[in-house]
Structure 1
Amino acid sequence: MALFDLDHTLVPFDTGMAWTQHLIAQGELEAHYADDYLAACQAYVAGTLDILALHRRMVGAIAGHPRPRLDALRATLAEGLQARVPQATRDTVAAHRAAGHACLIVTATTRYVAEAFAPLFGIDTVLATEPAVDAAGRWTGEVEGEPCFRAGKIRHVERWLEARGLSLASAGPSWFYSDSISDLPLLEAVDHPVAVRPDARLAALAAERGWPIRRLDGSDPA
């Protein structure tokens, strides 16, 4: 089983920002939303904004927009960013699929955005933060259940496995690819943790523990 974080791992950019910029370009959001989202991301990294507040910033901005219009724009989102996805990343996923490993995206990003990128890699299963909806099917800006974040990622994976009569211990060899120290709980839970373009703290820990450190941009040693 091969698990992949999304932002800055499978793709070398933040998908929430890509989605925000796409909506701005199409006239669905005002230009200042890009700066607002960037400021929220910076506060999140600094530890002054939690994952729920970050989710509210991203989903809340589009909560009142017509869903059919957003669905049409989402359909073109990943297509326009294909050129920014390194072939080495696609090849890594393809190698796992060829070996018969189940491949999953496991991301804190809202499912609505994350699912737009899964087809670029031939990945069918996305475990992500679930946006809450009201009785009319509109987003409320809140989160449904536990965010797919930090130790929550392990619980999302475990629930997915349990539904198939499996566990992390019984599912066979497992890999998790991530760029962030926030993913340490799941990195420590798998057989083969892989640091991809890691942040400074994860890079130091990976070097200390002998975990592979990869760029997945074509520059890794053969």
Structure 2
Amino acid sequence: MKNLALFDLDHTLLPIDSDYEWGEFLVRTGAVDEGEFRRANDAFFAQYQAGTLDPVEYLEFALGTLARFPRRELDAMHGQFMHEVIRPAIRPRARELVQRHADQGDLVAIITATNRFITEPIAREFGVEHLIAAMPETDAHGNLTGKLLGAHTSGPGKVTHMHAWLDQLGQPFDAFERSHFYSDSHNDIPLLSVVSHPVATNPNAALTKHATALGWPLLHLFND
């Protein structure tokens, strides 16, 4: 493969934040206490938007919530979440962008700070085999323990995890002729700065300013 195509997920391929919407789904279905959960979830989401989120602190909160439920129940809940929230939110232009890179024979991956339980079915929905995401620990029965395995996958962590993943595939990063990364957030500037073709996709204000100063292309997938 000559080219690499990496995609952030929330607000990049999706016009929503899947992690936040999962929390809203849990509240709506009565799976968690609305007042307690919404206060915490809203606070973490505001921190993310402001660029002040502690990723490990948030993941421990999110994974702790998941650990309350047996895996079979979680999987059934996620199926409902995909049907009610995720599939209706996916826009054709986002699907087409991913498919275009796949049709070109590029190595395609989604790389996200959101945990793998939430994002793996979404990656499959986009037809993407490779997913780099925060990894929840599971017990011998496949139930989530509430703990994080390894390091988080946000900010500079995306660069570290990308290199580790490519090394596992036997395809070092510098072997690609072109490398693309699509992201909406200034939190992803470390990885955007590493690839040969960064694309500020549905960018927030901070990334728009940074990308414009450096002459990076701006892409808006959700305007129509």
**TM-score of the two chains, using structure 2 as the length reference:** 0.91
Q: Give the direction of change, closer, same or farther, for the CA distance of 1:218–1:40 in structure 2 (3 Å limit).
A: closer
Would the aligned equivalents of 2:136 and 2:144 in 1 still touch at CA under 8 Å? yes
In the other structure, the counterpart of 1:165 is 170
Partner secondary structure for residue 152 of structure 1: helix
CA deviations 1:133-187 (Å, max 9, x no partner) are 3455443333111111111111111111111221111033110000111111110
User: Aligned pairs, how many?
Assistant: 219
- In structure 2, what is the equivalent of residue 50 of structure 1? 54
TM-score, length-normalised on structure 1?
0.91
Q: Which moved more, 1:126-135 or 1:86-95?
A: 126-135
Do 1:131 and 1:141's aligned partners in 2 also have CA atoms closer than 8 Å? yes
Alignment partner for residue 29 of structure 1, among 29, 32, 43? 32
AA at the equivalent of 2:6:
L
- Where structure 1 has 5 or more consecutive residues not aligned to the other structure, the ranges are none
- Aligned residue for 2:46, secondary structure, equals helix
Instruction: Give the CA deviation at 1:37.
Output: 0.6
The residue number in structure 1 matching 2:208 is 203
Higher relative contact order (CA 8 A, sep 6+): 2
- Among candidates 115, 123, 143, match of residue 120 of structure 2: 115
Per-residue CA distance 1:51-77 (angstroms, 9 max, x = gap): 011112212123121211011111232
Q: In the aligned structure 1, how far is the partner of 2:15 from the partner of 2:39? A: 19
Question: 4+ runs of 1 displaced by more than 4 Å?
Answer: 134-137
Deviation for aligned residue 1:30: 2.0
Q: Percent identity?
A: 36
Once residues 94 and 53 of structure 1 are traced to their aligned partners in structure 2, the CA distance between those partners, rounded to angstroms, is: 35
Q: What are the within-5 Å matches in structure 2 for residues 1-222 of structure 1?
A: 1-32=4-35, 33-80=37-84, 81-134=86-139, 137-217=142-222, 219=224
Question: How many angstroms apart in 1 are the aligned matches of 2:170 and 2:177?
Answer: 13
Deviation at 1:15, TM superposition (A): 0.5
Distance (whole Å) between structure 2 residues aligned to residue 204 and residue 44 of structure 1: 18
